[in-house]
Amino acid sequence: TLFTTCFYTEEKREVHLPGVASEIMELILKYAYLRALDVSHDNVFDLLITANYLCIMGIIKICCDYLKKNLTPENCISIMRFAKEHFCCELEVDAHTYVMRNFVDVAQ
């Protein structure tokens, strides 16, 4: 449906996705064709937001796994909030569990 809606115009052969950065779209297209995704601290949140927007479950899982593996006492609360705001329930639970298990370090 992406190519049959208002996002697509046949005469221009362009797809307009408001709010999606070209760098993020490039990564998503690479994933679509090669099943490879270069996730980093710099792009993981934008990738996850865009993957949610486009309902790309594979990228959502990869991004959530990346964030889970990179939980620290400094970022676990913000990741937990982000996960809640973006309906990433499993990541939210994982971040909450991390907070509870590392409460002393998180509280410092």
**Domain coverage including residue 100:** 71-108
pLDDT digits (tens, 9 = 90+) for 21-32: 999 999 999 999
| Widest Cα–Cα separation across the chain | 60
pTM as predicted: 0.85
Helix (H) or strand (E) holding 15: strand 14-15
Same domain? For 64 and 82 the reply is: no
The tally of domains found in the chain comes to: 2
pLDDT digits (tens, 9 = 90+) for 26-59: 999 999 999 999 999 999 999 999 999 999 999 9
b/e code 29-52 from CB counts within 10 Å (16+ = b)? eebeeeeebebeeebbebbbbbbb
**Is a pLDDT exceeding 80 seen at residue 75?**
yes
Same domain? For 4 and 30 the reply is: yes
